Amino acid sequence: MYIQSASEPGDSGRPNEDFCGTAQPASGHGGTLVLLDGVTPPPGDDGCAHGVPWFVARLGGALVELSGSLADVPLSECLARAITRTAALHSRTCELSHPRTPQATVVCARWSARTVEYLVLCDSPLLIRGQDGVVRPVLDDRLDQVLRAAREAPAGRRAARVEGLRNAPGGFFTAAADPRVAPLAVTGELPRSEVRALAALTDGASRWTEIFGLGDWTTLFDTLERYGPRALIGQVRAAERADPAGTTHPRGKAHDDASAILALS
């Protein structure tokens, strides 16, 4: 695979809470990619002395290492081990049971000469382009389901309803301090011969399609292949600047951290 990636903070005055990582053996056969989108906590105490950028760097680094070096271990187990390892680094100094302890969405893909495995947890999509050019999105839509249901609740209770379903039965899941969320990720495997390319996006980049409607997933993939991840993010930034108040395209943040990884055969 030939790999390109780009990552850009939504606000130059704040640290980027995304993580992009890839690994390929020197032989050139096989590899892995990892993309995390750190969840920005609301103002106030989140029980952690380190913060989200610290967390995503360690969780992402651990997952790149484990998924890249343990080819016989399923990706869900690699994620569980990465969560456990990261939690151990700050369990003595931080309150990891806090509902807003640092956490992240996860996309991981691993390929060999025979297979392509994937894992998606929460709302960062993975796009798989087949040899026929068809683009298949792999999505974990549980957060979207929670948000849709919350819109039906009284305005003053919507945020509380969403928070109450964070990493809870019947809700949505992120990678935080509990490795038991790992088996709840969306996972799968395809023959390597059926896959031409992969693209992983944080929701700051996938808003190209999901919020701004600049094209469908296939058009987004075409843009990535033709112009590269940095150009795609640039187009997102242009769309954000054209609608700074979110009047035409409502969104939680005017500008979000945006990251994309493209892996081509």
Instruction: Express each pLDDT in 66-119 by its tens digit.
Output: 999 999 999 999 999 999 999 999 999 999 999 889 999 999 999 999 999 999
How far apart (Å, rounded) are the C-alpha atoms in residues 133 and 64?
28
> Is-above-0.75 flag for pTM?
yes
Per-residue confidence band for 32, with pLDDT thresholds at 50, 70 and 90: very high
Q: What is the mean pLDDT of residues 161-186?
A: 93
pLDDT exceeds 70 at position 175:
yes
> 48-57, 88-97, 109-118, 149-158 — which is least confidently predicted?
149-158
| Token couple for 36 | 């995390």
| Token couple for 203 | 């929701």
Per-residue confidence band for 156, with pLDDT thresholds at 50, 70 and 90: low
pLDDT exceeds 70 at position 258:
yes
E-state strands within 102-257: 104-111, 115-121, 126-130, 135-138, 186-191, 195-201
pLDDT, position 25: 82
Query: Is the model more confident about 26 or about 218?
Result: 218
pLDDT exceeds 90 at position 162:
no
How far apart (Å, rounded) are the C-alpha atoms in residues 122 and 210?
15
Per-residue confidence band for 151, with pLDDT thresholds at 50, 70 and 90: confident
HSE of 138 in the Cβ direction (CA atoms, 13 Å)? 24
The residues, ordered by sequence, that sit 6+ positions from 142 with a Cβ below 8 Å of its Cβ are 122, 171, 172, 173
pLDDT exceeds 80 at position 160:
no
How far apart (Å, rounded) are the C-alpha atoms in residues 200 and 7?
12
How far apart (Å, rounded) are the C-alpha atoms in residues 84 and 79?
9
pLDDT exceeds 70 at position 233:
yes
pLDDT exceeds 70 at position 229:
yes
What's the mean pLDDT when you consider all of the chain?
94
Q: What is the mean pLDDT of residues 21-45?
A: 88
pLDDT, position 132: 96
pLDDT, position 155: 64
Per cent of the chain over pLDDT 90 is 85
pLDDT exceeds 80 at position 265:
yes
| Token couple for 149 | 């249901």
Per-residue confidence band for 158, with pLDDT thresholds at 50, 70 and 90: low
pLDDT, position 161: 80
